[in-house]
Amino acid sequence: MDLRAFLELLVSTEKPLLPGSTALWLALHLGWALVLGSGAMLLAGRLAQRYQWALSLSLLVLTLLPGPVSPAYWLGLVFQAPSLTSVVLCLGCVLGRLRRRQGRGCGIAALDPRALKILLVFGIALGWLLLLDTLACLPVSVYAWGFASAAVVAMLVLAALLWLVRGSRVSVLPFIVLALFVTGRWPTGNLWDALLDPLLWLALQVGWLVSVWRRWTLARRERSATRA
């Protein structure tokens, strides 16, 4: 195979590797089960640990049920399947809480804030780019690029650059997501669906707005205290 043929194969989106029907079902139900189960455990932090586990496991089992009785059925209609990033983040938060209870650290405060900001900006920008693509406001189909092998290579390069620049625990997140995607092509076979989902995109923007509001309020209070 010559270089030109290899490059054409690298950027081709005509024959993407897609997960099977069973993998698609697991990506939807198991993905939401892990996200909802982790979220329930985090939100019920003031309850006794046994109640947290009971609530989390009950919601997990309910989400794995087939048909409209499952929350995954309705969430899938609105937000599709959760991204691998959402699943890894939720499981990471639960693991961090368990480690803190054991006195071993690993909280959010211990993570690199600059690396978090880089991932936050990338996630928000990618979401807006995909939204513009959905509205046919771009001259090319960005979403279609997610089926090409070149997209994985590009994200590996960006993840390696983030690791070289920041080299923190947060920098491992893209590598984990990319490894899971390459292994099973979850959740849809498109890389962008593995990196970001609509619910995560909304959460990133809400988190950013809250952060801006807090900084603005704090700066305003400091100016008022200085004048007084």
Backbone angles phi, psi at 117, to 5 degrees: -65, -40
Phi-psi label, residue 176: left if phi above 0, alpha if psi -120 to 50, beta otherwise:
alpha
- Exposure b/e, 133-151, CB count within 10 A at least 16 = b: beeeeeeeeebebbbbbeb
CB count in 10 Å sphere of residue 56: 22
DSSP-derived secondary structure for 15-40: S-----HHHHHHHHHHHHHHHHHHHH
Per-residue pLDDT of the chain (228 residues; tens, 9 = 90+): 555 554 555 555 667 778 888 888 989 999 999 999 998 888 887 888 888 889 999 999 999 999 899 999 999 998 889 999 999 999 988 887 777 766 554 444 456 778 888 899 999 999 999 999 999 899 988 999 999 888 999 999 999 998 888 777 788 889 999 999 999 888 999 999 999 999 999 999 998 999 889 888 888 887 777 766
Q: Which residue has the tokens 């049920």?
A: 65
What are the residue boundaries of the structural domains of the chain, listed by start? Answer: 17-227
Residues of 88-100 as b/e, b for ≥16 C-beta within 10 angstroms? bbbebbbebbeee
